[in-house]
Amino acid sequence: MRIVELTSENQSKAMEALLKRSPVNYTEYEDTVRGIIADVRKNGDEAVFALEKKFDKCSLTKDTIRVTREEIEEAYKELDPAFIEVMKKAAANIRSYHQKQVQQSWITTTEDGIILGQKVTPIAVSGCYVPGGRAVYPSSVLMNVIPAKTAGVGRIILCTPPNAEGKIPAGTAVAADIAGADEIYKVGGAQAIAAMAFGTESIPKVDKITGPGNIFVALAKKQCFGYTGIDSVAGPSEILVIADETANPRYVAADLLSQAEHDPMASAILLTTSRKLAEQVSSEIDEFLKTLSRAEIIRQSLDNYGYLFVGGTMDQLVDAANAIASEHMEIVTKNPFEVMTKIRNAGAIFLGSYSSEPLGDYYAGPNHILPTNGTARFFSPLGVDQFIKKSSIISYSKEALEKVHGDIELFAENEGLTAHANSIAVRFDGKS
C-alpha cells in the first residue's frame, strides 16, 4: 500500500480522487435511472414485474411479490440459531441507543397569553432499502428499521432484491422480523426506489426512503427526492484511521481492510505521525491479503483509494481528517479522547485500540448508516430524527399581539409586503 507524505498538494489530490466516487458524478447512468422511474410511475406493478425479470431474473406476480409469514418462518429454520441470538442482542443494543434520541413535544406559556411550542410527529410510512449483490447485510436491516420503529413510524416496509427463484436471503428476512418491519417486498434496484416513492398496486407510497444501495439505487433516491424524503445519496464505504507510534500496526491494518473489502471503490486511509508505523501497517496488509477471501476486491480498493499518509504533527493529521470528513474514523493514539475533541467532521468516531470499526457495523448500538464522500461536514448518522417531523406551535392572545403589532407591521412594510402588514393591522383598526 502506498506511503505518501502528507502535504497540502497530496491531500488535495487524494480528496479529488475520493470525491469522484460520489454517485452525483455518475451522470452516464442518470438517463437509465430516469427511464426506470418513469416506467414504474406510469405502469406500477406491471413495470416492477418486468424490471425484476430483466435485472434479477425473477418472475413475480401480485401474489408473490410480498414475503409471506410462512417464508419468514422458513428463513428462521435456515439460519444458525446462534446467529439469530446474536442478531437479537445487536437489535437490543441498537434499540437502547436510539431510544435515547427520542424527542418529545413541548409547550411554553407567558402570563399575557403567548403559547409557543413544538409538536413532534413520526412520519406515517417509511421505506427501507436493503441491497443484495456482492454481499447480504442483515445488519443494515436492523440499522434502518429499528430507528424508524423507535421513532413511532406507523408502517415500515422493506424492499430487497430476490434471487431467480423469488427468494430473499434468510438473514434479511429474519433481521426484518426481529427489527419490526411490517411488510417485505421482493424488489431491488432503482425500480424498488421508484415503487416506494410513487406507490404501485402492491407497494405503498412511503414518506421517506432510507438505506444504502448501488449506483442505480443512489441515483434513484436522488431523482425521487421531493416526491419522497431520503436519508442521503450514499457513496462507497470509507475508513480513516488517525494513529501515532503507540498504535498496534496489525490492528490498524486489519481495520483498514475491514472497509476496503466492501467494494473496489471503497476508501481506506491512514494518517500517522510515524513513518515506521506506516511501513509496518503496509507489511501487515500484505500478509493479511494472502488469506482474506475478498483479497481481489481489497487490492482494487487500495490501489485506487488507499493511502498511508505520514505527517509531521498531530494537528496536521487532525486538519486533514476534518477536511476529508470520513464516514468512519478511528483514533488510535496515546490520548484518543483528547484528539477526538478536535474532530469536527466524521460520521462515526471509534476511540482506542479495542474499538474496531466492525463493532459499530454490527453490535455496539450507534447507527452504521453514515454520511459518505465528505458529507459528514453537514450530515449526521441515520437516527430517530430522520423519522420524525417537527411542527411549530404559535398562539397569541389579543393582549399579547396588541403589544407588538406595530413592530410586525413595520417589518412587513419594509419588505414591501403590505398584505402581511394588513393582516396584523386589521385586528386593531377599530373597524371590526
Q: How many CB atoms lie within 10 A of CB 237?
A: 24
Angle, in degrees to the nearest 10, between helices 8-19 and 295-305: 130
Cell matching residue 361? 457495523
Distance CA 192, CA 161 (A): 8
Identify any residues that bridge with 306 across adjacent strands, giving them in sequence order.
268
Tell me which H or E stretch contains 362. Answer: helix 357-362
Nearest to 168 by CA among 146, 147, 183: 183
C-alpha 25 chain-centroid distance: 19
Q: Please identify every residue annotated as catalytic.
A: 327-328
Q: How far apart are the first and last CA of the chain?
A: 80
Question: Where does residue 346 rank: exposed (0-12), middle (13-18), buried (19+ CB within 10 A)?
Answer: buried
Distance CA 407, CA 150 (A): 43
Question: Where does residue 327 rank: exposed (0-12), middle (13-18), buried (19+ CB within 10 A)?
Answer: buried
Non-local CB neighbours of 250 within 8 Å, separated by 6+ positions: 284
Q: Where are the beta strands (DSSP E) in 182-315?
A: 183-185, 208-210, 229-230, 238-243, 267-272, 306-310
Sheet holding 208-210, edge to edge: 183-185, 155-159, 125-129, 208-210, 229-230
Secondary structure (DSSP) of 356-403: -HHHHHHTSSS------TTGGGT---S-GGGGEEEEEEEEE-HHHHHH
Q: Decide: helix, strand or coil at residue 243.
A: strand
Nearest to 369 by CA among 22, 137, 126: 137
Cell matching residue 241? 484511521
Cell matching residue 269? 486511509
Identity of the residue numbered 167? K
Q: What is the CA radius of gyration of the chain?
A: 25
